[in-house]
Amino acid sequence: MLLANKESLVRSGDSARVWVAHGATTLKPGQAVYMKGLYAFDCREHKYQLLQEVGYDRGGQASSIPVEQGFQNVVPDSMQQAIEQFACKPTNGWWTPVVRVPETLEKRIQAANEGFFD
């Protein structure tokens, strides 16, 4: 699951910043059900920095996750490349709008509590 928040997208010159929610397809015990991360991109250099990340457990409780400092290269065919394409290339049309994101994330927590990901 990968959801980018269009309302949080800020572009300035060759830079972009956006909040993204993502979650693994399978969960290990103690693993966050989903995470929200604030990404900054250097669109010209194809680099990104994860500025902040928060994980949400099966109870919906948030906890801060340490992030690596500094910019990293965007790896081809990675989640970060997909986010970069959303943030840096507004004409890329393969992203699908999703409504009711909070409800979608709440349903993910409910599914995790029902053992769907175990």
Would you say residue 116 has pLDDT above 80? Answer: no
> What's the rounded mean pLDDT across residues 26-41?
90
Rounding to the nearest 10 degrees, give the CA dihedral for residues 13, 15, 18, 23.
150
Reported as a single tens digit per residue, the pLDDT across 35-83 is 999 999 999 999 999 999 999 998 999 999 999 999 999 999 899 998 9
For residue 13, name the pLDDT band (cuts at 50, 70, 90): very high
What is the value of pTM for the model shown?
0.82
The three-class DSSP label of residue 25 is coil
For residue 23, name the pLDDT band (cuts at 50, 70, 90): confident
Rounding to the nearest 10 degrees, give the CA dihedral for residues 14, 20, 26, 31.
110
